[in-house]
Amino acid sequence: MIQAIGLTSSPRKELPPAVDDVSFEAHAGRVTALLGAPGAGKTTVLRLMLELQPGRGITHFRGRPLHRIAHPAREVGVLLGDVPGHPARTVRGHLRMLCAAAGVPVRRADEVLEAVGLVSLRNERLGTLSRGTDRRLGLACALLADPHTLVLDEPAHGLSVRENRWLHGMLRAYAAQGGTVLCTTADPKEAARIADRVVTLERGRLVADQEAGDFSRTRLRPRVAVRSPHATRLSALLAKEARTARRSVEIVPEGGNRLHVYGSTCAEVGETAFRHGIVVHQLADEVGDMGPGAGVADLPRTAGEDARARTDPPRRTTDEPVAPATGAPAAPITGADAAPAADAPELPVADAPELPVAGAPSSSAVEAAEQATGGRRSDPSAASRHHTGAPADSDSPASAPSDRQASKAPAAREAHRPATVPTGRPDRTSDARAELPPPLSVRPAPSPLRPLRYEIRRATGVGTGFLIGTGVLVVSALTAVLLAPIGHTPQPRLLAAWPRELPLPPAALGAGLLGALAFGDEFRHPALATDRGTVPRRLGLLAAKLLVASATALVLAVLTVGCDAELLYLVYGPEVVEVPADWFSLGAGWLGLVIGCACAGVLAAGVFRSTTAGLATVVAVPLLVVPLVRKAAEGPSAPAATGFPARVREGLPLRWPFGGERHLEAVLRVVAQPVGAALVLSLAVLLCAYLLTTLRSRVR
């Protein structure tokens, strides 16, 4: 369950806080709706709960705050806004990358894609998805690690009517299996239709925390929606008959040919229109809001309604029943805006007491069982987890139902229903049954290869790295061919395509850019930040990025020299590409330079949270740090490390194998050069800065 206690956002200058002392609970096995008009503070409440913005108060997810949960994605599935992914990444590639980050099998991506109906769009790019498809993908990301709790901000935004029913059925099925669902909405009718409990916010404050039945009775009242070309005449006739029969009927013109009639029924309005020969284009039951923020989520109001809204203060909703002012019956009726009666959503019956289900375990027993499973929902059989597929309509194609949907186990579903259900309310999971991904049978232990798998899928999931590598090879080859006829470039620089006028060769700049993108893309498209708000600064993730960036730089350095040498051989002959005598030290220096630039880009982008800042730091090493190192070297000379290998060989009883002292001396000679020394110094400073920022983020 979720326990939010005293959530208060930080004040904004002289303005009051967006959220002020909000406390509520969302129980397991139930759907809780956070209702409020736009600007009421719903999203701010969710961000405070997930520790995404500063403020006061605390939120417990099954007794623990989010910062004390080792793997938040396995406990809380989050959907806030659009999916934070690279626009060039495919839907399936994005989910497979998140599978590696969460430590779940790769097949889980295909399972959640099937559950949300995106199998046919698995190869589409994220940047081309529609709003409704993006919401489906966000729900798939939230379900990926099979969390116990779902926290969703406006999950139905951008979905069609049919997709809305599918989403509501999925949330109901998820809660029926013991999960906790908390979602926000601005539509009171939607809140009453999908939720077991409704928490109402107004101007950042909690104004009501009610069961769905009490909410429907106190906040909603039935009305008849009428559309007729003779709406004015019909309105006058209905008012006259109401006065004659001494009934309380309120008629609200909606502009044009629309009427809303409160206190009457479709049969009475239809009979009146028939007796007087009035043509009616629409006659449907609806539910109107009469509480805080009434009318915000409905159709635009007319000028008369705006005047009434300015003169009548909003009514506060309490847990006590409030009878409508018109004297209309308080019991809600089913219906939807401009929808036939057959598609009308079902609303809960008022004053429905909660009684325990026969044979169901008590709530304490359910909580004890949840704790024993290590934070997982109750896992019914796989057959009971699969129902009918997601709806396939023109807005968002859905996958065909799988063969496993044919086997359903009603008894298994009943065994895992919540401990208490409101009596007299229909089982709304039957309205729009939705397919859920199967539960994760095994919670994998932490693996040191998990960040490495994530980084490899992140780097290879888009074509940016391949384009940069190709560009580096082309520029290096052309530069080498143009430098050869001049004759003033030494052979090592010629093979590296490094003229003296450039601070760094193209390969080093390309490696630095690839390294900067490794962390820069994380902050630009924070796919890992949906559950904690910031990109995780774990040492395992840093080590994986450094390892992948170093391997990429190594391959790029070897390919650059190979392509340059091959092209120079083809154009100018073999005398230009002769192997120098000190090839080992030159090769070590070349690889060290390219790999060092890649690592500097990774660390700088991680510290400054920007790809541009990471690349600028790489360029600043030869332009700023190297002159400082040379100036420091011109002073009093320090003791030289020339005889270091010989002294080590004398001090150790074992001999250096394979002439290791010569290799070590070559490496020390490279580090002693101004560029090598400046690069080593820069890497040390950047690493310390990264560790410092990591410690500061953990302290906060």
Report the C-alpha gap between 675 and 658 in whole angstroms: 28
Based on the fold, state whether residues 519 and 656 are members of the same structural domain: yes
Contact 149, 376 (CB under 8 A): no
- Note whether 540 and 70 are within 8 A (CB): no
Looking at the structure, tell me whether residues 525 and 672 fall in a common domain: yes
- Domain hosting 498: range is 450-699
Report d(CA 272, CA 278) in Å as an integer: 8
What is the pLDDT at residue 179? 93
Give the Cα separation of 27 and 278 in Å (integer). Answer: 51
The span from the CA of 585 to the CA of 69, in Å, is 49
Q: What is the pLDDT of residue 555?
A: 96
Same domain? 549 vs 667 = yes
Residue among 468, 379, 364, 374 nearest 419 (CA):
364
371: number of Cβ within 10 Å: 11
Q: State the Cα–Cα distance between residues 204 and 538, nearest whole angstrom.
A: 35
pTM tops 0.75:
no
Task: Give the three-state DSSP class for 222.
Answer: strand
CA 44 from centroid of its chain's CA atoms: 16
Q: CB–CB of 302/254 below 8 Å?
A: yes
CA 670 from centroid of its chain's CA atoms: 46
Q: What is the DSSP letter of 592?
A: H
Output the CA angle 352-353-359, nearest 5 degrees: 120
Q: Give Dmax over CA atoms of the chain in angstroms.
A: 117
Our count of domains for the chain comes to 2
* DSSP single-letter state for residue 625: I
Element (H, E) at 151: strand 149-152
pLDDT at 213: 85
Task: State the helix-helix crossing angle for 91-102 and 131-143, rounded to 10 degrees.
Answer: 20
CA 236 to CA 273: how far, in whole Å? 11
In a domain, 2, yes or no: no
Same domain, 338 and 455: no
Tokens of 629: 């190192």
| Sequence-distant (≥ 6) Cβ neighbours of residue 176 within 8 angstroms | 29, 413, 416, 417, 418, 429
3-state secondary structure of 202: strand
What residues of the chain score a pLDDT lower than 70? 289-434, 442-448, 530-535, 635-673, 697-700
Whether 455 and 327 share a structural domain: no
The span from the CA of 488 to the CA of 475, in Å, is 19
- Structural domain contains residue 350: no
- The answer to whether residue 10 is domain-embedded is no
Q: What is the spatial order of strands in the sheet that 180-185 belongs to?
A: 76-79, 149-152, 180-185, 31-35, 197-202, 205-211
H or E element in which residue 360 lies: none
Sheet harboring 22-26: ordered strands across?
22-26, 2-9, 55-61
Classify strands 55-61 and 31-35 as parallel, antiparallel or unpaired: unpaired
- C-alpha–C-alpha distance, residues 649 and 661, integer Å: 8
Q: Are residues 335 and 460 in the same domain?
A: no
The contacts of residue 312 (CB under 8 Å, 6+ apart) are none
Tell me if 227 is assigned to some domain.
Answer: yes
| Residue-level length of the chain | 700
Whichever domain contains 244, its CATH number is: 3.30.70
pLDDT of res. 69: 85
Q: Is residue 248 part of a domain?
A: yes
Cα Rg, the chain, nearest whole Å? 33
Residue that terminates a domain, selected from 343, 372, 392: 343
Whether 69 is in a domain gets the answer: no
Residue 181 belongs to a domain = no
pLDDT of 579 reads 81
Q: Is 180 helix (H, G, I), strand (E, B) or coil?
A: strand
DSSP assigned state of 120: G
Q: Which candidate, 213, 220, 179, 178, places its Cα nearest to that of 198?
A: 213
**Token pair 């080593």 in the structure block, residue:** 680
Q: Which helix (H) or strand (E) holds 401?
A: none
Q: Among the three residues 343, 373, 402, which one is the final residue of a domain in this structure?
A: 343
Place of tokens 């090879």: 473
Quick one: CA dihedral 502, 504, 509, 515, positive or negative?
negative
Whether the CB-CB separation of 378 and 416 falls below 8 Å is answered with: yes
Query: Does residue 5 lie within any of the structural domains?
Result: no
DSSP characters over 550-565: HHHHHHHHHHHHHHHH
Distance CA 236, CA 617 (A): 77
Six token digits for residue 139 = 């729900």
**314, 343, 372 - which closes a domain:** 343
Find out whether 514 and 598 touch, Cβ atoms under 8 Å.
yes
Distances (CA, A) of 423 to 29, 92, 218: 16, 42, 19
Residue 212: both structure tokens together: 């769905």
Answer for the pair 227, 282: CB distance below 8 angstroms, yes or no.
yes
β partners of residue 26: 2
Buried b / exposed e along 515-549 (16+ C-beta atoms within 10 A): bbbbbbbbbebbbbbbbbeebbbeebbbebbbbbb
Whether 660 and 544 map to the same domain: the answer is yes
At 439 the pLDDT is 84
| Region of residue 335 (phi > 0: left; psi between -120 and 50: alpha; otherwise: beta) | left
